[in-house]
């Protein structure tokens, strides 16, 4: 018996039912005084909320044509099926009945039917960008293809430095100033497209290389946002033009060897002296700290440890720019900074360093916000990380798209039992699901980029985009590697690099578990599920 094709009307009903389930679960959780102890449930709830929000964006995307509809409905079918399994297994925990999504069952059956999904295998769908951003996409894609792709494998295999011409080329394209106001030498004009241009550029660079492409923009974005949020006018005038031009190369020093996401326990100190602040202690996972000449350091300026995160401030520590895997510098007054790269299985080229400070002097003028910035470091860092999370979602989409492209091409070339493996239904279903995930993650990142231009800021949505897209990148690259078979596990094909690169995405810019529990779940409990929204008409042709 042939299963009928899913309809957009049925998809709309299914997504509405899924939203009600998540809203019911939230209400149930809000009434539970011990809900903070139910970490496994809160984690699942955070990801379910992200999936529902993405399904709502998928509904809008589905209105744009046959290919777009098939991708959107495939995505929605899989996500509603996942949520159904959660409430069927634990209805009491979710505060609902195991039959809560029964009205969506026929839609899920048709949308996840292999014969329907298989037809999405070669339908990547349109991005639906306005013309000016299509030009941005084409410009960065051309640069990435011409300048980054030819050296991406070499950088990864040898853990080599990123060539100077890539860094200077990215700077010439204006990448470092995409979100910095034109008043400070950047290219942002205060429109809804400012963040979207950053997302588009990041994705294109990440398709060629995560470490040597898309990630170059992240650290400047974080420091620039912190300065824009809490810096003095003099600091903005002093630092932002150099960041925008690429003259100031940035790194972020927050994590410490024994302290990850619990920043209230950070131990690196910044003690006030007549000349400024003396930094002491060790930071780790400082990506690009060698090449950087400006480190954004979150340090304890209040010696009273009971002050927790309220005793932290942000400082900009200057150092010479270095190549290679280690560095050491001394100041005339005896201060010292040392760094050593941490070997990693992927995400190579930028190098992640452990950095040690010994009485390293930072001028008072480099305390972000100066006197008013004392004790505000945690909040300014969080403001900076909002941009970083959205950008990380875009990086994940870039890696996913590259993996899909590699798998799709290989499936057409590889013959087994007399036929290309692209002819086999199982391969087609894999590719169809991959294509749907990539495109809806992309469309959601576009949606969040526009939200971040609004007064409300889109902070929770940026976190949800990061949480979902980064896990999705692990799955997509895994499936792409599997399609390659044994060759995928060899270093002969780029898919092995994409696979190991994807694994870091759920760790940096907020580990998935911490991000889901401490940010997404808490904001959901406080504010509820974000209102069902749609991209504006300019993004819907």
Confirm if 347 and 399 have CB atoms less than 8 A apart: no
DSSP assignment of 106-159, as one string?
A: HHHHHHT-HHHHHTTTT--------HHHHHHHHHHHHHIIIIIHHHHHHHHHHT
Per the domain annotation, does 279 fall within a domain?
A: yes
Give the per-residue pLDDT at 533: 60
Percent pLDDT > 90 in the chain is: 84
Confirm if 192 and 215 have CB atoms less than 8 A apart: no
Nearest residue to 225 (alpha-carbon basis) of 381, 456, 448, 366: 381
Residues 6+ apart with CB under 8 A from 180: 186, 187, 188, 224, 228, 240, 243, 244
Examine the fold and report which residue of 320, 348, 380 is the final residue of a domain before the chain moves on.
380
CATH code at position 350: 2.40.110.10
Confirm if 240 and 317 have CB atoms less than 8 A apart: no
- Split into its structural domains, the chain has a count of 2
Give the per-residue pLDDT at 382: 85
Percent pLDDT > 70 in the chain is: 97
Q: How far apart are CA 134 and CA 450, in angstroms?
A: 16
Per the domain annotation, does 85 fall within a domain?
A: yes
Separation of CA 365 from chain center: 31
DSSP assignment of 409-468, as one string?
A: HHHHH-EETTEEGGGSHHHHHHHHHHHHHHHHHHHHHHHHHHHTTSTTTTHHHHHHHHHH
**Least trusted range by pLDDT, from 180-189, 205-214, 495-504:** 180-189
Supply the range of the domain harboring residue 519. 1-120+511-541
For 250-268, how does the pLDDT look when each residue is reduced to its tens digit (9 = 90+)?
Answer: 999 999 998 756 666 788 9
Per the domain annotation, does 201 fall within a domain?
A: no
Per the domain annotation, does 11 fall within a domain?
A: yes
pLDDT higher than threshold 80 for residue 541: no
Examine the fold and report which residue of 331, 363, 380 is the final residue of a domain before the chain moves on.
380
Per the domain annotation, does 231 fall within a domain?
A: no
Q: How far apart are CA 184 and CA 504, in angstroms?
A: 33
| Catalytic sites, residue numbers | 509
For 123-174, how does the pLDDT look when each residue is reduced to its tens digit (9 = 90+)?
Answer: 889 999 999 999 999 999 999 999 999 999 999 999 999 999 999 999 999 9
pLDDT higher than threshold 60 for residue 225: yes
Per the domain annotation, does 93 fall within a domain?
A: yes
Give the per-residue pLDDT at 510: 81
Per the domain annotation, does 492 fall within a domain?
A: no
Give the per-residue pLDDT at 156: 95
Give the per-residue pLDDT at 122: 85
pLDDT higher than threshold 50 for residue 295: yes
Give the per-residue pLDDT at 261: 60
pTM as predicted: 0.94
Tell me what the mean pLDDT of segment 281-293 comes to.
96
Residue 321 is given by DSSP the state: -
Tell me what the mean pLDDT of segment 428-441 comes to.
98
Examine the fold and report which residue of 380, 415, 433 is the final residue of a domain before the chain moves on.
380
Mean pLDDT of the chain: 93
Confirm if 311 and 304 have CB atoms less than 8 A apart: yes
Residues β-bridged to residue 259: 256
Give the per-residue pLDDT at 535: 42
Nearest residue to 210 (alpha-carbon basis) of 18, 418, 354, 394: 394
Tell me what the mean pLDDT of segment 92-114 comes to.
95
User: Between 134 and 218, where is the model more confident?
Assistant: 134
Report residue 1's pLDDT band, with 50, 70 and 90 as the boundaries: low
Per the domain annotation, does 442 fall within a domain?
A: no
Give the per-residue pLDDT at 456: 74
Give the per-residue pLDDT at 262: 65
């Amino acid at each position: 018996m042939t299963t009928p094709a899913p309809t957009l009307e049925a998809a709309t009903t299914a997504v509405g039912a899924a939203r009600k389930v998540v809203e019911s679960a939230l209400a149930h959780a809000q009434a539970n005084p011990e809900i903070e102890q139910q970490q496994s449930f809160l984690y699942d709830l955070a990801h379910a909320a992200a999936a529902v929000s993405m399904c709502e964006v998928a509904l809008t995307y589905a209105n744009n044509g046959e290919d777009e509809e098939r991708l959107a409905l495939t995505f929605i079918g899989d996500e509603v099926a996942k949520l159904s399994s959660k409430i069927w297994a634990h209805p009491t925990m979710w505060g609902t009945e195991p039959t809560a999504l029964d009205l969506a069952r026929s839609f899920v059956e048709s949308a996840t039917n292999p014969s329907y999904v298989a037809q999405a295998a070669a339908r990547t769908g349109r991005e639906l960008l306005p013309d000016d951003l299509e030009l941005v996409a084409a410009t960065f894609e051309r640069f990435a293809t011409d300048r980054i792709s030819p050296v991406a494998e070499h950088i990864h295999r040898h853990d080599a430095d990123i060539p100077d011409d890539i860094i200077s080329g990215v700077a010439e394209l204006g990448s470092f100033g995409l979100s910095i106001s034109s008043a400070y030498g950047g290219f942002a004009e205060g429109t809804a497209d400012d963040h979207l241009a950053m997302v588009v550029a990041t994705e294109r660079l990440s398709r060629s290389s995560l470490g040597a492409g898309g990630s170059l923009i992240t650290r400047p974005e974080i420091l620039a946002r912190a300065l824009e949020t809490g810096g003095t006018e003099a600091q903005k005038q002093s630092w932002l033009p150099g960041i925008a031009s690429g003259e100031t190369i940035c790194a972020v020093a927050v994590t410490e060897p024994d302290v990850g996401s619990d920043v209230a326990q950070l131990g690196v100190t910044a003690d006030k002296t007549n000349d400024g602040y003396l930094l002491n202690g060790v930071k780790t996972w400082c990506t690009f700290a060698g090449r950087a000449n400006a480190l954004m350091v979150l340090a304890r300026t209040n010696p009273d440890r009971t002050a927790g995160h309220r005793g932290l401030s942000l400082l900009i520590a200057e150092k010479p720019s270095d190549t290679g895997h280690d560095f050491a510098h001394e100041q005339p007054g005896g201060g010292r900074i040392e760094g050593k790269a941490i070997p990693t299985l992927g995400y190579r080229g930028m190098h992640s360093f452990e950095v040690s400070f010994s009485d390293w002097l930072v001028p008072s003028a480099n305390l972000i916000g100066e006197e008013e910035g004392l004790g505000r470091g945690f909040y300014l860092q969080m403001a900076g990380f909002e941009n970083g999370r959205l950008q990380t979602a875009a990086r994940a989409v870039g890696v996913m798209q590259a993996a899909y492209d590699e798998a799709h091409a290989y499936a057409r070339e590889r013959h087994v039992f007399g036929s290309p493996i692209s002819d086999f239904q199982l391969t087609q279903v894999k590719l169809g699901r991959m294509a749907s995930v990539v495109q809806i993650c992309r469309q959601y990142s576009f949606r969040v980029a526009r939200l971040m231009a609004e007064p409300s800021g889109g902070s929770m949505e940026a976190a949800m985009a990061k949480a979902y897209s980064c896990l999705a990148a692990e799955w997509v690259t895994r499936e792409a590697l599997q399609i390659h078979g044994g060759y995928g596990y060899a270093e002969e094909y780029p898919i092995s690099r994409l696979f190991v690169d994807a694994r870091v995405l759920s760790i940096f810019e907020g580990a998935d578990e911490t991000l889901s529990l401490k940010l997404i779940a808490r904001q959901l409990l406080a504010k509820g599920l974000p209102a069902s929204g749609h991209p504006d008409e300019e993004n819907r042709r």
